[in-house]
């Protein structure tokens, strides 16, 4: 099948004779002048676009009317590319891109000479500033994602409007903060947290009532009370029995102290590591085994010492305690003592073991990555970002986990 292009659809009335030789298939070369309007604003751009389409239309008609256009040539757009080159010679190299040339070629072949661009699909890029302002003033805890879903606009558009309204960066995130969690559950363990003994007393009694309704019973022997301020009256259950008060509480292998330090936790992990190390002394202290093999086996023992260390606000003293215990194990495995005057770095190189400080830091960074990937309302994220009410004491305050 052959396709023909009608001359009346592609040529202006004043260009049907000028610049066209009916006896030749090639267009006659002629000089053109720049007819772009010198006005400003949208009228100038519209006039330039209309002139550009007119020139493109005319060049396309002059180049293609004398010949039959096959479907292959129509899809390739060879004549349209020649028209684009002529147009760039008149209006500049950037007046018509390759993508625009393809759209114009398709539009002109269909007989559509409209210079208006096709409206883009998708989310709108602008909205009313007053609507966003009223919504923000009504609920300042609303997040930018919720605002974007409310008006069906992109999240970047919300940020743009907030900047235009004069909001500073610290106000463009509205995350509701409900304080630290007051109740924690894990497996069959429950932690009830309260600000006062009276509040804790009420929570315990309510918890016992709920368990009794479900056919369960609270184990008083495994339930302990720990206070950060110490002393005070005992906490009673619904039957008047007092719970055991303690300064340290062990849960899932970690020791929690009432004063908030990790001294007891570090000492407890060192004891556990020595117990695991003694279970492997038949291999670790065997002279027939190479030091590299002993180092690999020790890598199985060291996690017992570092269990839970990703949550410790360790200090230099804690790192020194862990490092001392580890070096005693490594020297014993190598058959060396301090009298041999062998440096710690040399022993670590023989055993191919990284320093304890480096491993502790790697543990904390790995845990920090897990916490930051959690939602803002997750308990671990809240525990890291919460601010305790009150003022820190003078002098050298206790080290926080963020400070490590």
Is residue 202 in a domain?
yes
Same domain, 224 and 279: no
At residue 266, the pLDDT reads 92
- Mean pLDDT in residue range 336-344: 86
Same domain, 163 and 187: no
Is residue 396 in a domain?
no
At residue 33, the pLDDT reads 36
At residue 320, the pLDDT reads 92
Of residues 139, 141, 147, the one with CA closest to residue 175 = 141
Is residue 120 in a domain?
no
Q: pLDDT tens digit string along 192-227? A: 888 888 888 888 888 888 888 888 888 878 888 888
CB distance 263 to 256 below 8 Å: no
Residue 107 C-alpha from the chain's centroid: 44
Residue 165 C-alpha from the chain's centroid: 26
pLDDT of 404 strictly over 50: yes
Name 291's Cβ contacts closer than 8 Å, sequence gap at least 6: 333, 334, 350, 351
3-state secondary structure of 54: helix
Q: What is the pTM of this model?
A: 0.51
Q: pLDDT tens digit string along 1-20? A: 332 223 333 333 333 333 43
Is residue 118 in a domain?
no
- The token pair at 336 is 């060396």
Same domain, 298 and 278: yes
Q: Between 39 and 146, where is the model more confident?
A: 146
Is residue 282 in a domain?
yes
Give, rounded to a whole angstrom, the gap between the first and last alpha carbons of the chain: 78
Of residues 304, 321, 317, 298, the one with CA closest to residue 269 = 304
CB distance 59 to 71 below 8 Å: no
- Mean pLDDT in residue range 80-93: 72
Domain enclosing residue 154, as ranges: 129-171
Is residue 95 in a domain?
yes
No. of helices (H) and no. of strands (E), the chain: 16, 6
Same domain, 89 and 150: no
At residue 58, the pLDDT reads 53
- Which contiguous run of DSSP H or E holds residue 80? helix 78-91
**Residue 274 pairs with which residues in a beta bridge?**
none
Mean pLDDT (the chain, rounded): 72
Same domain, 24 and 58: yes
Same domain, 44 and 140: no
Same domain, 241 and 268: no
Whole-number Å distance between alpha carbons of 168 and 184: 36
Residue 45 vs residues 9, 48, 116, 147, 311: alpha-carbon distances, Å: 25, 5, 11, 34, 62
Same domain, 81 and 136: no
Instruction: Please state the domain count of the chain.
Output: 4
* 381 burial via Cβ count (<10 Å: 0-12, 13-18, 19+): middle
Same domain, 304 and 352: yes
Is residue 403 in a domain?
no
pLDDT of 335 strictly over 90: no
Is residue 395 in a domain?
no
Q: Between 251 and 268, where is the model more confident?
A: 268
Same domain, 267 and 242: no
Question: Nearest 5°: CA angle at 328, between 322 and 329?
Answer: 90
Whole-number Å distance between alpha carbons of 41 and 48: 11
Could you tell me the pLDDT band of residue 402, with boundaries at 50, 70 and 90? Answer: confident
At residue 261, the pLDDT reads 84
Same domain, 144 and 209: no
At residue 42, the pLDDT reads 45
Q: What is the largest CA-CA distance in the chain?
A: 116
Residue 322 vs residues 137, 179, 291, 366: alpha-carbon distances, Å: 53, 34, 21, 20
Q: Between 6 and 127, where is the model more confident?
A: 127
Domain end call among 118, 142, 171: 171
- Lowest mean per-residue pLDDT among 6-10, 20-24, 143-147, 389-393: 6-10
pLDDT of 171 strictly over 60: no
CATH of the domain at 154: 1.10.10
Q: What is the DSSP string of 301-366?
A: HHHHHHTTGGG----HHHHHHHHHHHHHHHHHHHT--GGG---HHHHHHHHT---HHHHHHHHHHH
Same domain, 365 and 277: yes
């Amino acid at each position: 099948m052959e396709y023909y292009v009608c001359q009346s659809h592609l040529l202006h009335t004043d260009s049907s004779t000028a610049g066209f030789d009916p006896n030749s298939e090639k267009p006659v070369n002629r000089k053109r002048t720049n007819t772009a309007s010198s006005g400003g604003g949208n009228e100038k751009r519209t006039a330039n676009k209309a002139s550009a389409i007119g020139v493109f239309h005319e060049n396309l008609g002059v180049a293609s009317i004398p010949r039959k256009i096959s479907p292959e040539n129509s899809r390739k757009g060879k004549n349209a590319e020649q028209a684009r080159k002529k147009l760039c010679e008149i209006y500049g190299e950037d007046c018509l891109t390759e993508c625009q040339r393809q759209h114009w070629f398709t539009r002109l072949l269909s007989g559509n000479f409209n210079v208006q661009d096709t409206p883009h699909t998708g989310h709108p890029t602008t909205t009313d500033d007053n609507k966003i302002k009223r919504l923000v003033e009504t609920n300042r805890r609303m997040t930018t994602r919720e605002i974007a879903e409310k008006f069906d606009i992109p999240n970047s558009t919300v940020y743009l409007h907030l900047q235009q309204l004069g909001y500073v960066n610290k106000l463009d995130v509205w995350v509701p903060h409900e304080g630290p969690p007051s109740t924690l559950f894990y497996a069959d363990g429950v932690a009830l947290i309260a600000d006062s003994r009276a509040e804790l007393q009420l929570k315990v009694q309510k918890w016992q009532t709920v368990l009794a309704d479900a056919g369960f019973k609270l184990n008083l022997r495994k339930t302990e009370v720990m206070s950060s301020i110490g002393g005070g009256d005992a906490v009673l259950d619904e039957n008047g029995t007092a719970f055991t008060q303690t300064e340290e509480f062990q849960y899932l292998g970690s020791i929690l102290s009432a004063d908030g330090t990790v001294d007891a936790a570090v000492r407890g992990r060192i004891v556990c590591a020595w117990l695991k190390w003694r279970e492997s002394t038949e291999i670790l202290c065997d002279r027939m085994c190479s030091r590299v093999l002993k180092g690999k086996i020790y890598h199985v023992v060291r996690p017992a010492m570092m269990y839970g260390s990703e949550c410790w606000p360790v200090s230099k003293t804690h790192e020194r305690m862990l490092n001392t215990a580890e070096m005693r194990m490594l020297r014993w495995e190598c058959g060396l003592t301090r009298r041999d005057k062998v440096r710690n770095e040399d022993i670590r190189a023989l055993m191919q073991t990284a320093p304890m400080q480096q491993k502790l830091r790697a543990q904390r960074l790995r845990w920090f990555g897990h916490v930051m990937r959690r939602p803002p309302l997750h308990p671990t994220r809240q525990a890291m970002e919460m601010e305790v009410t009150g003022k820190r004491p003078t002098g050298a305050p206790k080290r926080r986990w963020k400070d490590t």
